[in-house]
Amino acid sequence: GEVVVVTLESERRIGGGGVDPIAPGEFAEVSVFFAPVEVREYSGVLTVISNDPFNGETTVALHGNGVARPPQLVVEESHDFGMLFAQAETGEWTMSIGNVGQLPLVVESILVSGAGFGVDSEGGFSVEAGAIFDVIVSFTPEDAGEFTGEVTIASNDPQRGEVTVSLTGSARWYPILSF
């Protein structure tokens, strides 16, 4: 059998370090905690040993299932491209989409909004448990000024099915010197 750890919710201790006896008609509450480390079925036996002359040892069968954590998307939720020269420079950022769940993360779509911003993937891929998928986000300003945009990621993450990444950047004209 497997080892089962039992924690008493409250123990009644006496001076010698033992546990106070349970009087007739009383009971002691015991909490059993289950923390599976693998996706599989578990079983074990809880054994209660006492000085009861008729039932000195009582067993309780324990059963449980370890289930996989659902997919969980992690991504940096904002990025600033800084200052670039309009119509002369492109900034690139590697946006890493990670999965800290135990089941595959399915990225259904990646949409980008905002003037000058783009992505190299529109989604339609999976990220295995513990893995990362990199998407290149670009900023190519066509005019001088302050810019904002968003990348919206839709996935099968049950907690955050849609995640928005904020984008910012600014641009100025390249200086032209005349002599």
* 22 compared with 61, residue with greater pLDDT: 61
Mean pLDDT of 25-49: 81
Whether pLDDT at 107 is above 70: yes
pTM of the model: 0.70
The DSSP bridge partners found for residue 92 are 138
Per-residue pLDDT tens digits for 122-145: 999 999 999 999 999 999 999 999
At 13, is the pLDDT very low, low, confident or very high (cuts 50, 70, 90)? Answer: very low
